[in-house]
Structure 1
C-alpha cells in the first residue's frame, strides 16, 4: 500500500513532463514553419520589387513611334511613376517658345534674372541622378517654386503642368524657399551700410521732401488656413486668420529688414519691440556716428512708422486727429504746423505702401489665402521679400495690371489701432519723441531751410 502511495505522484509527474515536452516540440515546429514561410514571402516580395524596378528602368528608355495625334496617351511611357500625360512641357514650351512677356507674367521676373537666380541657388537646390531615375533639373525645380509663389495655385495644378507629382511640387517649394533665405538673405536683405543709409536719406529728401529720414517701417497680414491650435491668436482685428509680418523699406522701395510669421492678433508695437530693428535703432546703428545736424542740433536719422508704433527720437509717426498732450491732458485739434507735418509724412509714407503693394502683386501667395503648412509660411514671406529685392535690383518690369489682382483679393488689410504708447523705460513716448517731431514741424514751416537742402 505504501508503494502505491509513492508511485502515484511519480507517475503523475512523469506524465506531466512528457506532455510538456511534446507541447514544446510542437510549438518549436510551428515557429520554425512560420519563420520559413515568412522568409519565403519576404524573398518573393524582394524579387517582385526588383523586377518592377527593372521594368521601370527599361520603360524609361522606350520611345514610342506611334502618331501622337492618333494615340495621345502614349507619352506616359516617359515616366511610368507619374499619372500625367506629358512631361516635356517645360523643355518643349517654356525653354524654347516663351517670350519675355511670358516670363514676366508666369515667373514675375525676366529670363535673365531667372537664370541668375538659378546660379545663386545651385549649391542647395541642385540634385544628383539616381539609379532609379534622373533628378529634376535645377531650372525646373526653381520654376516650380516661382510658379507657386507667383500664382498661389494648388499643388495639383502645378503637378499636371510640369509633369511631376504633387509631393515633388511641395518639396520644390520648400527647398527653393529655404535656399533663397539661406543663400540670398545676407546679400539682398540686410541692414544698410553707412553709404546706403546716406543714399536712402537723399532719396527721401529729393523725392518726398522729408529730410533726415532713412526708411519706413510697417506691418502687413497674410491670410492662412485654420491652424490646428490657438485659432484665436491668429484672428486679426479684421476678423480673419492671418500671420503678420513687419518690413522696413528704404528710399528706393526695397526691403532691408523683415520680421515675419507672428500670429495675426499680435500688436504692431510688440512686434517692433521684439525685433532686431528696435535694438539696432535704439543703439544708433541706423545713423552716421557722430549724428548729422538737423535744425542746428545733432540728430540721428529717423524712420517713419505706423500709428500704432511708439513715438521715439528715431521713430516718427503722424499726428492723430486728437492728440493727447502731457501738459494739460486734453484733446485739442491739430495746429497748422501739425497738419503740414502730416501731409509731408503721408507723401513719404507712400514708399512703404507702394513697396508692399508691389510685393503682394508680384507674389500672390501673399495677397491670397496661403494654404501651405503654417511652419512654411514665414519662410515663404521672407523668400518673397528677397525675390522682390532681386527683381528691383535687376530692373525687371513691373506690370501695372498685377495691381488689380491684389485689389480683388479675398481680404483687405486690417486697420491699425492707435493707443497710448510708452517707451521701454516706462516714460510716455512723447516726452522723448515729441521734441524731434516738433523740430520737423518747425522745419516745414520755414521754406528757406527747405530751399537750402
Structure 2
C-alpha cells in the first residue's frame, strides 16, 4: 500500500514537471493577466466618466458642498428649484428657466397620465430635468441617478417617456412642414441673410455615432469605417429644422435616404410648393432646396457644379453662393450637437429609441431658438469635427434630372445680374 502511494506521488510530481503542465500553468497566468488588464481598463473608463460628469456639473456639486446637510435626493427640490439663478439654468440645463417650465407645462398632462411607471411618483418637472440632464451631459444612467436620488432604470424611463412626449406634443408645433405664407417668409429670409433667391431650405444629413450593433454591424458601418445612425434634415434661413427624418443605417447613401423619405414623396407629388409655382426670372419655378454633391440634381434640389477645372465664371460664382447659403444647416448641426452632447455618442440608447430621441433634440433645439434662449459658444468646445470625418457619397450624374440644369442656369443668370448691379 505504501509503495502504491509513493508511486502515485512520483507520477504526480513527474506530471507537474512535464511540458504540458508547464503550458497549462502559463495559460492560467495569461488568462489572469488578461483579466487584470480588462479590470484596470474598465476601472480607468469608469474614472474618466466620473471626471467628465464632475466637469459637467462642477457648479452643481459646489452647491451640494455649500449645503452639506442636504442629501442628493433633495438636491433638485432644495437647490435647483430654490437657489438656481438664471445663469445656472442656462449652464446646467442649457435652456432658460422660463423655457424649461414651458416645456414641463406642455408635457404635464401626458406625463401625469404615465406616472404609474414611477415608484414613488416623480413630478413632471423632475422627470423633464432628469431627461434633459442626460441629453446635455451624455453620461451614463448610473452617474445621473445619485444626483437626483433615483435609480438607473428610472433615469432610462425618464429619457424614454420625455422624448416620446416631446415628439407627440411639441413636434407638431415646432417642427412641421410650413404653410404657403411661411414658405414665402422663408424665401425672404434666405434672400436677405444668405443672398440666395427662391430658396426655402438647406438639406443635409447627420451621422450620429453609436456602439457597434450586435446583429446589424455591417448595415450601420458607414464609408469611414465607424458605426452610425443617419438623420436627414432641412432647416430654414434661421437654422431651425422644419423637416427631420431619423433612423437610417449609416451605410445608406444620402440619395437613397432622400428617396425613402416623406420629403421626396411630398416634393414629387407637388405638395411641398405653392400651386401654381411662383415666378422667378420670368418663368414659373418651384421653390428650391440646397444640397451638396451627395444629392441628385432636381428642379427643386440644387447642388454645386462638379469642379473639374472647366467651369465658367458664372458657374464658379453659383457654387460659391450655394455653398455659403448651404452652410446654414452645417451651423445648425453644430449647434444641435453642442446643445445636446448626447448626439456626439449614443451609448445608453437602444436603436429602437434613438430616432425618437433625435427628433426630440431637434424639437427642443427649435423651442430654444423660438424662445430666444442664448447660445453659449463655449458649448462648441465639446465638438471636434476633425476627429470623425463625415462620410460622403457623390451622386452619379446619371441620377440627375436633365431639366433641372435650366434651373441652375437661371440661378447663374440671377447672380451675374446681381454682380453687374453691384
Q: Under a length normalisation based on structure 1, what TM-score does the superposition of the two structures give?
A: 0.75
Is residue 2:335 matched to residue 1:349?
Answer: no
2:259 corresponds to: 273
Distance across 2 between alignment mates of 1:192 and 1:433: 24
Is residue 2:412 matched to residue 1:441?
Answer: yes
1:381 corresponds to: 358
Summarize the alignment of residues 140-159 of structure 1 with structure 2, pairs less than 5 Å apart.
Answer: 140-159=126-145
- Runs of 4 or more, structure 1, over 3 Å off, are 127-130, 448-451
Q: Deviations over 1:123-154 (max 9, x none)?
A: 22125888x96411110000000001111111
Question: How far has the Cα of 1:448 moved from its partner?
Answer: 7.3
Is residue 2:179 matched to residue 1:193?
Answer: yes
1:7 corresponds to: none
Is residue 2:378 matched to residue 1:431?
Answer: no
Is residue 2:138 matched to residue 1:167?
Answer: no
Q: Where does structure 1 lack aligned partners over 5 or more consecutive residues?
A: 1-68, 76-84, 323-331, 423-427
**Are 1:362 and 1:402, in contact at CA under 8 Å, matched by a contact in 2?**
yes
Question: How far has the Cα of 1:421 moved from its partner?
Answer: 4.5
Is residue 2:394 matched to residue 1:418?
Answer: yes
Q: Where does structure 2 lack aligned partners over 5 or more consecutive residues?
A: 1-64
Is residue 2:220 matched to residue 1:234?
Answer: yes
Alignment partner of 2:340 out of 363, 366, 380: 363
**Bigger fraction of residues in helix:** 2
SS in 2 for 1:87: helix
Question: How far has the Cα of 1:264 moved from its partner?
Answer: 0.5
Question: How far has the Cα of 1:440 moved from its partner?
Answer: 0.7
Distance across 1 between alignment mates of 2:250 and 2:374: 32
Question: How far has the Cα of 1:408 moved from its partner?
Answer: 6.9
Alignment partner of 1:253 out of 205, 217, 239: 239
**Are 1:241 and 1:264, in contact at CA under 8 Å, matched by a contact in 2?**
yes
SS in 2 for 1:231: coil
**Are 2:296 and 2:395, in contact at CA under 8 Å, matched by a contact in 1?**
no
Distance across 2 between alignment mates of 1:284 and 1:340: 30
Summarize the alignment of residues 327-338 of structure 1 with structure 2, pairs less than 5 Å apart.
Answer: 333-338=310-315
Which has the higher mean CA deviation after the structures are superposed, 378-387 or 283-292?
A: 283-292
**Are 2:228 and 2:249, in contact at CA under 8 Å, matched by a contact in 1?**
yes
Question: How far has the Cα of 1:343 moved from its partner?
Answer: 0.8
**Are 2:194 and 2:237, in contact at CA under 8 Å, matched by a contact in 1?**
no
**Are 1:108 and 1:150, in contact at CA under 8 Å, matched by a contact in 2?**
yes
1:181 corresponds to: 167
Distance across 2 between alignment mates of 1:303 and 1:449: 25
Distance across 2 between alignment mates of 1:113 and 1:96: 17
Instruction: Output the aligned Cα RMSD.
Output: 2.1
Question: How far has the Cα of 1:211 moved from its partner?
Answer: 0.5
